[in-house]
Structure 1
Amino acid sequence: MKSIAYIALVSLLVLKIIFMSCFVFKTESNNLFFAKNAIASENKNVSDAIKASPIIAEENKQDNLPFILKQKAELKARQEELKLQQEELAAVKDDINKKIEQLTRLREEIKLDFAKKDTIDAQKIKHLIKAYSTMKPQTAAELIGKLDNDFAVELLSQMKGEAVGTILSYIDKDKAAKITVSLAGK
């Protein structure tokens, strides 16, 4: 029984192979089997093409000459355009560098002006401290009582402790308390 099944299976495979080969032959897909002919025909076409190529190449050179000249002109124009852009960029870069230098100089001048102002303010504060220190405590207390708390704290923080204590004793108690708290915070 097994042998009959094997024979039937082999027979089916053989029939399938035969039908497939007929099908391939009919659909002219058999060029794979006749590759020598295809290669030989290609060789003839290649040799003919080589013989004809100088003429075609010469014709192509003449046909392409206007195109090549146009491309060359466009390339030259593009190069000129790029050169102009580079020059413009260089000019802009120089302008930016000059402005940076100007701004740097201006910043240094501003720093110097602030330093001078701070020095002048410090000298004025020292002068006021000296003036308030030499005044009678009651007069200094009246004047300091009328000042802004922050400015009063700045003045009193740079005065000697004895003078500050005496002056604070003559200032309004609420304002004296606020000034004392601010002095302790410094």
Structure 2
Amino acid sequence: MELQFFKNFDFTNFWDNDEYSRKEYTEDFPGDELITSIEQELGYKLPDSYIELMRLQNGGTPKMTCFPTSESTSWAEDHIAITGIMGIGRDKRYSIGGDLGSQFMIDEWEYPNDGVYICDCPSAGHDMILLDYSKCGRNGEPEVVHVDQEDDYRKTFLAKDFETFIKGLKDEEEFDLE
């Protein structure tokens, strides 16, 4: 597959692919019909870079799970952490259309309906990663933000787009976890 995004990015060691990840996150590769159906259901045009990554592997847990922040969050002073990246589908619990997916977080946990929640965090629902369409509209290129349920759903800017977010993930060992 010829990549439009993620040029010069090595995915060889990107995914963890442990048993839990395969069971809870990884869906079959999404076809155009499923993508359109999920977009209509959630009300947002998914970023092309997100779709491209999901066509390489549709959801899972990356090996690099931290992203640096310029301000502190409920997770840490200088970064956030993710558990996994939700795939495009409805079959796995942690897919954007799954039982614990984006709409569930909006309906049940009262997260703001400003986009599509694409990553869960180790806090078991108390913070999430959002493709935030509040500045660009439902069909634009969303920013990636951390939404902190413990701090009145405060948003912390992470990246200008999904590709930048993925390329910016770091190993937790790069941060002082004391």
* TM-score, structure 1 normalization: 0.19
* TM-score, structure 2 normalization: 0.20
More strand by share: 2
More helix by share: 1
Higher relative contact order (CA 8 A, sep 6+): 2
Give the greater-gyration-radius structure (CA): 1
